[in-house]
Amino acid sequence: MARCCSDYTRSALLRRGVAEAGLGLPGVEPGMPLPAGSGLTRRRLLARSLGLALAVYGGSSLRPEAFEAGIEAAAAAGAPERVLVSVFLDGGADALSMLFPAEDPLYRSLRPRLALPADQGTPFAEDGRLRWHPSLGALATLHGEGKLSVAPGMGYTTPNQSHFTSRHFYEVGATSVRTRTGWLGRYLDRAGTPDNPLQGLSLDSRLQPALATAKLPTAAIDGPDRYDFWTRGVWGEVAERMLAAIRDLGTLPHRGDPGLEAAADAALQSHRLHGQLAPFRPKEGSTGIPSPVPYPASEDAFPRRLAGLAAMLAAGLPVRVVALRAPGMYDTHDSQPAELAEALRLTAESLLAFQRDLEARGLADRVLVHVWSEFGRRARENGSDGTDHGAAGIGLLLGSRVTGRLIGEFPGLQRLDEHGNLRATSDFRALYCAILEQWLGADAEAIVPGARGFQRPQLLRA
């Protein structure tokens, strides 16, 4: 029986299950094996989008108030002991610049124009061949404090050099183009609850695909400080009364009319959410979220989002896994030096500020940050001051509890693969298994396909 016959609504007719609302899974580009009938595509980010506050994905059977009650109940039960934050370096970050083999003549010959000066950047204590990119002083600091573990050759066998395909592999936690749920989404499906969308939080205007669940709800929120109802030519006590009137309009009787009910519900819930997020809105005259430590000043939302996240965790909101994009575009086919330096600096300094913020708030033991990119870049530079898509890239784990030791080794330039790319010395799926088991206390075998075959690195200090 077709759905339209038994369960008629226009949306039911059109929509095929919230599971597939894992928007962005999989991406589509020429040559990529496309799962027939998915029809799903990665939407481009609107650069100027102000972001959608608390857009909820999945769990469509619940009404908004059920979610809010669920969030409150989960918060009252005590915030999750451990939080994972996944930070994506979009475009394929050049691992060979982030940690560069300063004295290797091969590096100079492969990168005649892009090689970084051998006396710049901080030496990398665990491997004498390497130095940190001069813009990554913040990471060098964290590494020096033992709060940063580096995987200098993160990847997988038979690497795919398509952004979308490789990113998709990392997001779903498998080298499969057919998987529709994210690896963190599958974790949430097992560990989460049906009424708490904050358990999986995309700090973005839309769902981050790694968080795409099969059944449980997750939320996307641009930042807790941006949920306002600003109106031109309305201020002071009139603005306050106007907010109350939004609620009053939402409580007018709708007499069972579903259209009016939907509009009234939206008004009512928006008014409530506005009240709940009040502590995160900057006070008049100040900008940004009140934080115990300074964050880098930037047009980019990244530092603001991390500051907001720290504030939300401090407020006891029931957040379990978080995903967001780092600032900058790492697909540096040309003009690499300037673009990369700026992106790396802002990313690293924001992450350091976040760590300091968590330390100041006494939350540092509860948070683990995982930084990843879909691949590294070609060892040999191209002809336009840039680098093309490569294979193995860099992975980082950051937090007060990490071992601070290498995960895999620097692959070196002596034995590149047949495309001239760095070979992987650690597998992202092995890292996922270790994060799931050692940090989140989950059964990796139920979440990562083929988990049994991966050698887990030790992530946490004993």
Nearer to other proteins, 60 or 141 (CB): 60
* Host H or E run for residue 281: none
Q: Which of 82, 129, 254, 281 binds other proteins (CB under 8 A)?
A: 254
Residues 102-121 that bind other proteins (CB under 8 A): none
Instruction: Give least dist CB 296 to other proteins, A.
Output: 25
Closest separation in Å from C-beta 228 to other proteins = 8
Query: Shortest approach of other proteins to residue 86 CB, angstroms?
Result: 22
Tokens describing residue 30 = 């020429």
Q: How many angstroms from the chain centroid is the CA of residue 66? A: 26
Compare residues 190 and 272 and give the one whose CB is closer to other proteins: 272
Task: Provide, rounded to whole angstroms, the least separation between the CB of residue 256 and other proteins.
Answer: 8
Helices 336-360 and 137-144, packing angle to 10 deg: 40
Among 109, 120, 231, 458, binds other proteins (CB under 8 A): 231
Q: How many residues bind other proteins (CB under 8 A)?
A: 76
Residues 6 or more apart from 451 whose CB is under 8 A from it?
429, 433, 444, 445
Q: Give residue 11's identity as a one-letter amino acid code.
A: S
Contact pattern from residue 134 through residue 153 relative to other proteins, giving x for each residue in contact according to CB under 8 A and a dash for the rest: --------------------
The stretch among 12-20, 115-123, 284-292, 329-337 that binds other proteins (CB under 8 A) is 12-20
Check if the beta carbon of residue 392 is closer than 8 Å to that of residue 422.
yes
Minimum gap (Å) between residue 236 Cβ and other proteins: 8
Contact between 168 and 7 (Cβ < 8 Å)? no
Given 76, 106, 234, 338, the residue binding other proteins (CB under 8 A): 234
Q: Tell whether residue 284 is a contact of other proteins (CB under 8 A).
A: no
Rounded to the nearest whole angstrom, what is the least distance from the CB of residue 224 to other proteins in the complex? 13
- Buried-exposed string 310-341: b where 16+ CB fall within 10 A, e elsewhere: bbbbbeebbbbbbbbbbbbebbbeeebeebbb
By CB under 8 A, what part of segment 167-226 binds other proteins?
A: 205, 220
Cα dihedral 288, 184, 192, 38 sign: positive
Task: Compute the chain's Rg from CA coordinates.
Answer: 23
Residue number, 233 or 383, with CB nearest to other proteins: 233
Provide the 8-state DSSP code for 43: P
Rounded-to-integer distance, Cα 374 and Cα 169, Å: 8
Q: Find where tokens 């049906």 sit.
A: 194
Out of 113, 241, 419, 461, name the contact with other proteins by CB under 8 A: 241
For the CB of residue 59, give the shortest distance to other proteins in the complex, in Å: 12
- Contact between residue 389 and residue 133 where contact means Cβ atoms under 8 Å apart: no
Query: Tokens representing 356?
Result: 């300091």
Instruction: For residue 139, give the H/E element and its range.
Output: helix 137-144
Query: Is residue 365 a contact point for other proteins (CB under 8 A)?
Result: no
For position 383 contacting other proteins by CB under 8 A, the verdict is no
Shortest CB 386 distance to other proteins, Å: 20
Dihedral sign computed on CA atoms, order 22, 26, 28, 29: positive
Which residue stretch of 10-18, 129-137, 167-175, 376-384 sits at the interface with other proteins (rule: CB under 8 A)?
Answer: 10-18
Which CB atom, from 252 or from 297, has the smaller least distance to other proteins? 252
Q: Cα(246)–Cα(158) distance, rounded to whole angstroms? A: 56
**Which positions from 52 through 91 interact with other proteins, judged by CB under 8 A?**
52-56, 60, 64
Cis ω for the linkage preceding 258 (within 30 of 0): no
Counting every residue, how long is the chain? Answer: 462
**Residue from the set 106, 125, 260, 329 that interacts with other proteins by CB under 8 A:** 260
* Stretch of 5-13, 341-349, 422-430, 447-455 contacting other proteins, by CB under 8 A: 5-13
Among 76, 106, 245, 329, binds other proteins (CB under 8 A): 245
Among 69, 118, 264, 364, binds other proteins (CB under 8 A): 264
Cβ proximity to other proteins, 41 vs 298, nearer residue = 41
Q: At its nearest, how many Å lie between other proteins and the CB of residue 288?
A: 20
Token duo for residue 448? 């990562």
Q: Collapsing DSSP states into helix, strand and coil, what is residue 268?
A: helix
CA–CA gap between residue 54 and residue 201 (Å, rounded): 9
445 binds other proteins (CB under 8 A): no
Residues 37, 78, 105, 112: which binds other proteins (CB under 8 A)?
A: 37
Local structure of residue 163 (DSSP, 8 states): H
Q: Which region, judged by CB under 8 A, interacts with other proteins, from 22-30, 86-94, 330-338, 421-429?
A: 22-30
